[in-house]
Structure 1
Amino acid sequence: MPLNVFGFYNGLNEQAKGYPYLKRFGRIINQLALFQIAILNNGTLDGRPSRSLVNEAHTMGTKVLLTVSNLNQQGKFSTALIGRLIREQDFANLVWQNIRNILVEYQFDGVNLDLEKAAPEDRSLYSKFIQAWSTKFRQANFLVTIDVPAKSASDPSDSWKGAFDYQAIGQAVDEVILMTYEEHWPASPPGSVASIPWVTEILNYAIATIPRQKIYMGIPLYGYDWSERGGAQVISYLRAIELARRHGAPLQWDGRQYSTFFRYETRGVRHTVYFEDPRSLKDKLDLALSMGIRGVALWEMNLSYPRAWEILQNYASRSKIK
């Protein structure tokens, strides 16, 4: 079966870098999630989408979802905010009503819940909260999707993943987006952000706990540029190719991680870059297809490039770009 395509659009209007890709390739996207709406401490929502952007996606036959997160003003996920949502019924009801009002006003098709870093000891309460909200949104005729951290085993005590009970959450919502990226991250040694062996382990665990027809495998459209001095910067495919050419750095293939990488030196500092490219993208799409899951979720469209969409259309359920 072809794959459904879920695209994260990092922005709320036509000024986002992903907009040209939406214009050109949007007809292969089944669901578009507008990302950047955050829940504030007073229960209101920060940000409003472009009505014309939502309408334009609908004209393409694409369902549009509103991603709602617990990101604070410092760009960090707030554990305290989730604690309030799962314990203070009046606060949770206020937030739910404010989300519903935007969904209705802008004619969204559903919601994408990006509520991360719940305290692991709140695992049961978090599941009950997701179940309650899912019931309310579905009764209001909205599609409910949720983003969950990647894991390959049950780990209730893990500070980042522990609160996410795949089975309970998978039963509650319509679709689950596995965040199958960040295997390597700025504070880790250099490596693929989503190697095929690692992603395979996560998919195998997910399929054992969540119905296949609900699962979207996250596909990163980025990599990292690590400095030997520590830390890393996000890098897109187009930027990585330009950087390698400028420094005359040969591209290499890591056959264990199924990822392209290169090394270069600037101002006496050595760098290692791992990034996702057409070859690793195709490997991931083949894996998703072989697993029989619902589809793939692209993080994120601002970092995409034309060749990625050309490859993607060969796998997509809406395969014809008009």
Structure 2
Amino acid sequence: MFEYHILPGVALSTLNDRYTIQTSRSFRVAPLATITNLTSEGFSSALIRQVLSNPQIRNRVVNEIVTLVTQKNYSGVTIDFERVAETERDLFTGFLRILNQRLKNRGRYYLSVALPAKTDDQIPWLRGYDYGGIGSVVDFTFIMAYDWHTPDSPPGPVAPIQEVRRTIEYAINQMPSNKIILGFPRYGYEWTMSNGSVQSARAVSVDMAIQLASSHQVPIQYSNEYQQPHFTFRDENGRRHIVWYEDARARVAKLLLVPRYRLRGVGAWQLGLHFPQSGFIVSELFDVQKVL
């Protein structure tokens, strides 16, 4: 359930989630509360530093999370702390270890963590995430295997298959493969170009992408190299638009990596983005295991 975030004074924000938790459990789906470092300016490195570097604040946050999970009948928690700095690398792993111990002391609760995709430990802005250390102290990880291209980058595939594969191969050398949930995108991006440079960009769902191609009557291409669809069109003002996104073919290519690498399962960001083929594909390729 997305999301609870840490407020000034180290309390957690509120969420009207009781009906969703009850509905989830009625379908034998384990509800997990997501805890983030989101602020009005986005994911905050300063907030993470404050929480992780001060033992008193860290313990208060742990207490808040444990209370939330137990009182609201969650099955556990997902920690989605983004932009963790290299200087907080060991502190972050230690925080997860303490939180997992506290949760296990209260019952059978899951602890998972959302991790940015990385293919080695030399990428400066990702050194705060110790895949090996984190994998040893949590029940499973959700690897966000997407956003190789974003609105802030030149146009390109959102989740190119070779980068997804490289991410998996790095991860399984750091942690057991059965602790890895492979995360997929349910979206893409549309870039508006001007003289060969990006003028603006926005996220589009799978449905939106297909509607764009249909409304401008342009063919959808498919990259066998990246295993992702794309197309280009010009608007009424003559501006060129480039769209890369995820579709059923791209999803199948990634799903087949799960048995190949013996991963725990699959996940996606996010369910509010309409991708009607996705559920059908999963049910055709997998037997879904219920944990409740």
Question: What interval of TM-score do these two structures reach, taking the shorter chain for normalisation?
Answer: over 0.9
Match of 2:43 among 60, 64, 77: 77
Q: Does 1:259 align with 2:224?
A: no
Measured in 1, the distance between the counterparts of 2:142 and 2:89 equals 18
Report the TM-score, using the length of structure 1 for normalisation.
0.85
TM superposition shift of 1:305: 2.3
What's the offset of the Cα at 1:319?
Answer: 7.5
Ranked by relative contact order (alpha carbons within 8 Å, sequence separation 6 or more), the top structure is 1
Name the residue aligned to 1:130.
96
Q: Is 1:301–2:271 an aligned residue pair? A: yes
Given residue 94 of structure 1, which amino acid in structure 2 is its aligned partner? R
* Partner-residue secondary structure (3-state), 1:44: coil
Tell me the equivalent position of 2:161. 196
Output the aligned Cα RMSD: 1.5
Give every structure 1 segment of 4 or more consecutive aligned residues whose post-TM-superposition deviation is greater than 4 Å. none
Query: 2: distance between equivalents of 1:101 and 1:121?
Result: 29
Equivalent residues in 2 for 1:166-177, closer than 5 Å: 166-177=131-142
What amino acid does structure 1 have at the position aligned with 2:217?
Answer: G
Contact 1:41 1:81 in 2 (8 A): no
Deviation at 1:307, TM superposition (A): 1.4
**2:135 maps to 1:165:** no
**CA–CA distance in structure 2, aligned partners of residues 128 and 105 of structure 1:** 24
Query: Deviations 1:73-123 (Å, cap 9, x if unpaired)?
Result: 22x111111111111112112222222222122100000000111111222
One-letter amino acid of the structure 1 residue matched with residue 276 of structure 2: P
- Does the C-alpha gap of structure 1 residues 102 and 49 become closer, same or farther in structure 2, counting only changes over 3 Å? farther
In structure 1, stretches of 5+ residues that fail to align are 1-33
Query: In structure 1, what is the Cα distance between the partners aligned to 2:127 and 2:64?
Result: 28
- Counterpart CA distance in 1 for 2:94 and 2:70 is 25
2:22 to 55, 69, 73: 55
Residues 4, 35 of structure 2: 8 Å contact kept: yes
Aligned with residue 57 of structure 2, among 91, 96, 104: 91
Aligned-partner SS, 1:40 = coil
Q: Which residue of 2 aligns with 1:222?
A: 187
Gaps of 5+ in 2: none
1:281 and 1:185 map into 2 onto residues whose CA distance is 19
Residue matched to 2:218 = 249
Q: Is the 8 A contact 1:37 1:47 kept in 2?
A: yes
- Structure 1 residue 238 corresponds to structure 2 residue 238: no
Give percent identity, aligned residues only.
30
Q: Compare 205-214 and 306-315 and name the one that shifted more.
A: 306-315
| Matches of 2:137 and 2:155, distance apart in 1 | 37
The 2-side partners of 1:98 and 1:126 are apart by 17
